[in-house]
Amino acid sequence: MSGWKELKVETVLNALPTDMGNLYRSWIDANPAKTDRLGEIVAETVNMFREAVAVYPWYVMDPDITMVPVSGFRHALDMVIFNLGMEMGVQFAPEVYSLVTQANVWLRMVQTGKIRAVDTIGDGGSPRYSQKSESRCQESE
């Protein structure tokens, strides 16, 4: 189904910056009880993004519960990485906090209907323009 992209633990692990990936592996080694925590964070985030879209009945939801809207994928990924980092005690640069703010803004805009999260028309969501035909121009004269 177009307009949706899979977000799983493997996706996050492949997207982690190298230093954070190393830190994550060390954190798991030191805290074996946290082995499933990344999966929980991913599931919570995916659910939150899907619920934001499900507010409006005109969206056709992807039945796969690991899918998030393509338009919000990067925001969801940023949110997962940020939440994981916070649990691991990572000290983020101030700019990183703006990524989470942007994710929350995206969620709010979807929930209030200010942006279209998923293409509901099937044409990519872009406006289409057509030139008037010669015959129509002549009729109006």
Residue pair 108/44 in contact (Cβ under 8 Å)? The answer is no
Tokens coding 4: 């949706």
Report the alpha-carbon distance of residue 105 to residue 135 in Å, rounded.
47
Confidence of residue 128 (pLDDT cuts 50, 70, 90): very low
pLDDT at position 31 is: 96
Q: How many CA atoms lie within 13 A of 62 on its CB side?
A: 21
Give the closest residue to 118 by CA, choosing from 43, 41, 55.
Answer: 55
Q: Is residue 1 scored above 50 in pLDDT? A: no
Give the closest residue to 45 by CA, choosing from 89, 98, 82.
Answer: 82
Confidence of residue 119 (pLDDT cuts 50, 70, 90): low
Write the pLDDT tens digit of every residue in 56-98: 888 889 999 999 999 999 999 999 999 999 999 999 888 889 9
Weakest-pLDDT range from 41-45, 107-111, 136-140: 136-140
Question: Residue 46 class from Cβ within 10 Å (0-12 exposed, 13-18 middle, 19+ buried)?
Answer: buried
Report field, pTM of the whole predicted structure over 0.95: no
Write the pLDDT tens digit of every residue in 11-60: 999 999 989 999 999 999 999 999 999 999 999 999 999 999 998 888 88
**Residue 7, SS3?**
coil
**Residue 64, SS3?**
coil
Q: How far is CA 71 from CA 25, 83, 116, in A?
A: 30, 20, 9
Pairing of strands 67-69, 4-6: antiparallel
